[in-house]
């Protein structure tokens, strides 16, 4: 029988251990002790024993803020967020999305389970999308049952609202969810507000008062003000679109993702930036791309075949990547201001010291690393490592944790804070012990997976071949094939590339390959196994930019064998199996 440890049980265990005190060996009579307790308030001015239940009756609030497609390096422009959260809390320096793709990542946040357990492996059907998620077994349901007032504002897993725009997911007392596909418009977006639909502006009219980030911010501020005086603690989930690309109003004919444009010389497509708030337009007009040796990587022979086939990034492509990079940075400035407003509201309402604030991205983003012009999906550092900051009671200021952490830990952490009791076997664990003591470390590896990756049964090959018993259907490889063909944005209309008149898109190239994978991170190593057979192994101490895969290096043979075995055990893991610590990996010879 597999052991199932809930976040509530783990929290009780932790509180029991941290609450122990060393006995002095001196015995104090009960009557004397009682007299001292009665006299203590008058002598010191402290809160009396009788007042303690009143002071402690309200459990900590939770504010979870999530950005979309935000890469780690971009935090440098969010000075307010770094000051208010990082400088006043803990930064998790090694935080990785289990699936670097919007819908699977957000579904993992809500369920506390890896994609191979919650069933959401892609952004859309047949292997993903909001409808694949069991919405009755999610974090808001658990927090609501634990006595929290819950609210969600903004983006939800991809596909929400397509079938029924007025549907309010269970667990949310107040619901203001963005309806797809209008989610991807900074103006002209539609919200389901507690069952009623409201449209904000028009896509082609940039009304400063209706800029999406600012509207979400104000709705969050309003919720905090209204609930601050209540008897119940609150859980507010706020999901900004920035810096994700948007559906631009002047784009009539588009393709899906970043497929190669056809023409005399095929050129990689580049996903456009979202429109920034009008007050921030041009703020980074002269910003250059960060210096990164992985940009337009010259020697790709160590990479899997689908990456080797990517063309070099010429001057025009670099200019377009730079333009996208600048615009995405500008879109984050409004998010940074929103964080300042939210934190000041918590302070002015007297809630700041009793609120845990979490800030994270769903996945990162490429800007030319390994010849990927824009996109995500892959486990490499560009998209496979993202910001994560935590502030709250018991968290010392200005700390950094080097522990390997993941978005699979979010539900366990928030459930721990709220004393909630999930009715699922969570694959993650609470981050509170690592926030309270940033020196704390463990040997738990981090699993990353996408599409049909991390399955214990083999994937059916392309074509009319019958899938193996217990294996995924043939259409399960569709996400991986699309990624191999060039679509690493995977966002449909939100990240398209316009086609030149009379040109046809280069579909079909590389579709026999699969970019789907399973990967393990442990220590300073990243090991990737692709469903099509490719392998990558990076020693991040000597190769932080992932320029030289060591998977065929004889000095790393024992290490690769070790990682293969450990990755085998993580395939299909459930609950406690996913959280088990492993021995220290063998050093290269």
State residue 122's pLDDT score.
Answer: 83
Rounded to whole angstroms, how far apart are CA atoms 492 and 73?
A: 25
Rounded to whole angstroms, how far apart are CA atoms 220 and 210?
A: 15
State residue 457's pLDDT score.
Answer: 54
| Residue 13 exposed, middle or buried by CB count within 10 Å (0-12, 13-18, 19+) | exposed
Cβ(405)–Cβ(434) under 8 Å? yes
State residue 263's pLDDT score.
Answer: 41
How confident is the prediction along the chain (589 residues), in pLDDT tens digits per residue?
333 444 444 443 333 333 322 333 333 333 333 433 333 333 333 333 334 344 455 899 999 999 999 999 999 999 999 999 999 999 999 999 999 999 999 999 999 999 999 999 888 887 788 999 999 999 999 999 999 999 999 999 999 999 999 999 999 999 999 999 999 999 999 999 999 999 999 999 999 999 999 999 999 999 999 999 899 999 999 999 999 999 988 753 333 333 334 344 455 678 899 999 999 999 999 999 999 999 999 999 999 988 998 899 999 999 999 999 999 999 999 999 999 999 999 999 999 999 999 999 999 999 999 999 999 999 999 999 999 999 999 999 999 999 999 999 999 999 999 999 999 999 999 999 999 999 999 999 999 998 877 655 544 444 555 554 544 444 445 556 566 666 676 665 544 333 333 333 333 322 223 688 899 999 999 999 988 788 999 999 999 999 999 999 999 999 999 999 999 889 889 999 999 999 999 999 9
State residue 255's pLDDT score.
Answer: 30
What is the CATH class of 61-248+268-441?
alpha beta
Rounded to whole angstroms, how far apart are CA atoms 240 and 279?
A: 18
State residue 483's pLDDT score.
Answer: 64
Q: Say whether domain 514-588 belongs to CATH 1.10.3470.
A: no
State residue 47's pLDDT score.
Answer: 31
Please write the tens of the pLDDT for every residue from 301-315.
999 988 998 899 999
How many Cβ atoms are within 10 Å of 300's Cβ, its own excluded?
16
Rounded to whole angstroms, how far apart are CA atoms 126 and 120?
A: 10
Within 13 Å, how many C-alpha atoms sit on residue 105's CB side? 31
Q: Tell me the two tokens of residue 257.
A: 């993702």
Rounded to whole angstroms, how far apart are CA atoms 251 and 272?
A: 11
State residue 451's pLDDT score.
Answer: 80
CA distances to 131, 459, 460 from 470, in Å: 22, 10, 11
Cβ(301)–Cβ(536) under 8 Å? no
State residue 512's pLDDT score.
Answer: 27
Please write the tens of the pLDDT for every residue from 478-494.
556 566 666 676 665 54
Hey, where are the domains in the chain?
A: 61-248+268-441, 514-588
Q: Tell me the two tokens of residue 13.
A: 């265990």
pTM of the complete model: 0.84
State residue 477's pLDDT score.
Answer: 53
State residue 466's pLDDT score.
Answer: 56
Cβ(465)–Cβ(476) under 8 Å? no
């Amino acid at each position: 029988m597999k052991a199932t440890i809930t976040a509530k049980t783990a929290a009780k265990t932790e509180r029991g251990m941290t609450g122990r005190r060393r006995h002095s060996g001196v015995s104090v009579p009960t009557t004397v002790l009682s007299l001292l307790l009665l006299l203590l308030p008058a002598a010191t001015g402290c809160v009396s024993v009788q007042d303690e239940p009143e002071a402690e009756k309200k459990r900590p609030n939770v504010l979870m803020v999530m950005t979309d497609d935000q890469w780690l390096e971009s935090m440098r422009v969010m000075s307010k967020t770094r000051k208010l959260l990082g400088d006043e809390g803990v930064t998790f320096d090694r935080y990785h999305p289990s699936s670097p793709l919007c819908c699977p990542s957000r579904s993992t946040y809500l369920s506390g389970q890896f994609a191979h357990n919650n069933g959401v492996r892609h952004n859309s059907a047949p292997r993903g999308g909001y409808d694949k998620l069991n919405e009755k077994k999610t974090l808001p349901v658990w927090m609501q049952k634990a006595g929290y007032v819950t609210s969600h504002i903004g983006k939800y897993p991809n596909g929400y609202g397509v079938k029924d725009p007025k549907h309010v997911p269970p667990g949310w007392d107040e619901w203001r969810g963005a309806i797809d596909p209008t989610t991807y418009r900074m103006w002209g977006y539609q919200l389901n507000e507690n069952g009623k639909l409201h449209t904000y502006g028009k896509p082609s009219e940039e009304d400063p008062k209706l800029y999406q980030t600012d509207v979400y911010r104000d709705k969050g501020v309003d919720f905090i003000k209204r609930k601050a005086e209540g008897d119940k603690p609150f859980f507010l989930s706020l999901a900004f679109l920035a810096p994700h690309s948007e559906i631009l109003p002047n784009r009539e004919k588009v393709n899906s993702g970043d497929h190669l444009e056809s023409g005399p010389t095929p050129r990689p497509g580049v996903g456009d930036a979202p429109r920034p708030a009008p007050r921030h337009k041009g703020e980074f007009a002269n910003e250059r791309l960060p210096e990164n040796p992985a940009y337009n990587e010259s020697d790709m022979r160590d990479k899997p075949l689908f990456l080797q086939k990517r063309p070099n990034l010429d001057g025009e492509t670099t200019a377009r990547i730079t333009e996208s990079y600048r615009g995405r940075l500008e879109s984050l400035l409004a998010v940074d201001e929103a964080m300042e407003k939210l934190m000041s509201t918590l302070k002015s309402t007297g809630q700041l010291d009793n609120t845990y604030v979490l800030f994270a991205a769903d996945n990162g983003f490429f800007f030319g690393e390994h010849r990927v012009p824009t996109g995500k999906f892959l486990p490499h550092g560009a998209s496979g490592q993202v910001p994560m900051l935590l502030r709250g009671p018991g968290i010392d200021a200005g700390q950094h944790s080097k522990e390997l952490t993941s978005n699979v830990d979010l539900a366990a952490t928030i459930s721990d804070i709220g004393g909630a009791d999930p009715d699922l076997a969570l694959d993650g664990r609470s981050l509170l012990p690592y926030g309270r003591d940033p020196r704390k470390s463990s040997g738990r590896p981090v699993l990353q997976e996408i599409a049909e990756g991390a399955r214990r049964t083999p994937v059916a090959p392309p074509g009319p071949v019958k899938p193996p018993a217990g294996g995924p259907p043939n259409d399960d490889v569709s996400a991986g094939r699309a990624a191999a063909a060039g679509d690493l944005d995977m966002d449909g209309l939100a990240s398209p590339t316009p086609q030149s008149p009379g040109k046809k898109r280069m579909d079909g190239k590389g579709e026999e390959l699969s970019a789907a994978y399973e990967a393990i991170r442990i220590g300073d190593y990243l090991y990737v196994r692709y469903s099509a057979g490719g392998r990558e192994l990076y020693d991040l101490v000597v190769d932080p930019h992932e320029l030289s895969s060591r998977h065929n290096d004889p000095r790393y043979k024992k290490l690769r064998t070790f990682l293969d075995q450990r990755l085998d055990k993580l395939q299909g893991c459930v609950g406690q199996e996913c959280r088990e610590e492993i021995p220290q990996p063998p050093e290269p010879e």
